[in-house]
Amino acid sequence: MKFTALFTLAFSLVSFAALAADGPAKIGQPAPEFSLKDQDGKAVSLADYKDKVVVLEWFNEECPFVQKHYSEGNMNRLAAGYTEKGVVWLLVNSTKGKSSASNKQVAERWHITRPILEDSMGQAAHAFGAKTTPGMFVINKGTLVYSGAIDDNNSNKTSDIAGAKNYVAQALDEISAGKSVSEPETRSYGCSVKYAK
Amino acid sequence: MLRWTGPITVLLSLTVGQCAFAQSRMKITLLADTQVVQPGQPFTVAARLTIDPTFHVYWSNPGDSGRATHVRWHLPSGYSAGELQFPAPSRISLPGGLVNFGYEKEVVLMTTIRPPARIEDQPKLTADVDYLVCDENSCKPGEANELGLVLPSNDSERQVIESWKKQLPVPAEKCEDVVRVTPVTGGLDIQWRATPKAIECFPNLDESWQLEDCRVDTTGMNTRVLYRLLSGKVKSLSNSPKPLVLAYTLENGQRRAIELPMNPMPGNP
Position B103 pLDDT exceeds 70? yes
CA distance B108 to B125: 17
One-character DSSP codes across B186-244: TEEEEEESS--EEEEEEE-B-SS-BEEEEEEEEETTEEEEEEEEPSS--B-S------E
Q: What pLDDT score was predicted for residue A3? A: 45
Shortest Cα–Cα distance, A187 to chain B (Å): 6
pLDDT (mean) for A39-46: 97
Q: What pLDDT score was predicted for residue B209? A: 60
CA distance A16 to B177: 45
Shortest Cα–Cα distance, B66 to chain A (Å): 6
Side chain identity at residue B81, one-letter code: A
CB A103 within 8 A of CB A40: no
**Out of A64, A126, A187, closest to residue B210 by CB:** A187
Helices (H) and strands (E) in chain A, counts: 6, 9
pLDDT (mean) for B59-64: 93
How many angstroms from the chain centroid is the CA of residue B119?
A: 30
With cut-offs at 50, 70 and 90, classify the pLDDT of residue A43. very high
CB A191 within 8 A of CB B65: yes
* pLDDT tens profile A83-137: 999 999 999 999 999 999 999 999 999 999 999 999 999 999 999 999 999 999 9
3-class SS of residue B182 = strand
* Ramachandran category for residue B40: left, alpha or beta (phi over 0 → left; psi -120 to 50 → alpha): left
Position B215 pLDDT exceeds 70? yes
One-character DSSP codes across A8-31: HHHHHHHHHHHHHHH-S--TTSBP
* pLDDT tens profile B110-123: 999 999 999 989 99
Shortest Cα–Cα distance, B203 to chain A (Å): 14
- Tell me what percent of the residues of chain B surpass a pLDDT of 70: 81
CA distance B266 to B160: 38
* pLDDT tens profile B161-205: 999 999 999 988 899 999 999 888 878 899 999 889 999 999 887
For residue B22, which of B138, B161, B129 has the smallest C-alpha distance? B129
CA distance B214 to B229: 10
- Torsion angle, alpha carbons of B81, B86, B130, A196, to 10: 170
**Out of B4, B64, B139, closest to residue A71 by CB:** B4
pTM of the model: 0.85
CB A11 within 8 A of CB A3: no
pLDDT (mean) for B144-173: 93
- Residue B80 forms beta bridges with which residues? B114
- What residues of chain B have any CB closer than 8 angstroms to a CB in chain A? 2-6, 64-67, 94-98, 100, 132, 134, 136-141, 205, 210, 230, 232-237
Shortest Cα–Cα distance, B249 to chain A (Å): 29
DSSP assignment, residue A61? T
A 141-160 residues with CB < 8 A to B: 149, 152-154, 156
DSSP assignment, residue B85? B
Q: What pLDDT score was predicted for residue B145? A: 93
With cut-offs at 50, 70 and 90, classify the pLDDT of residue B227. confident
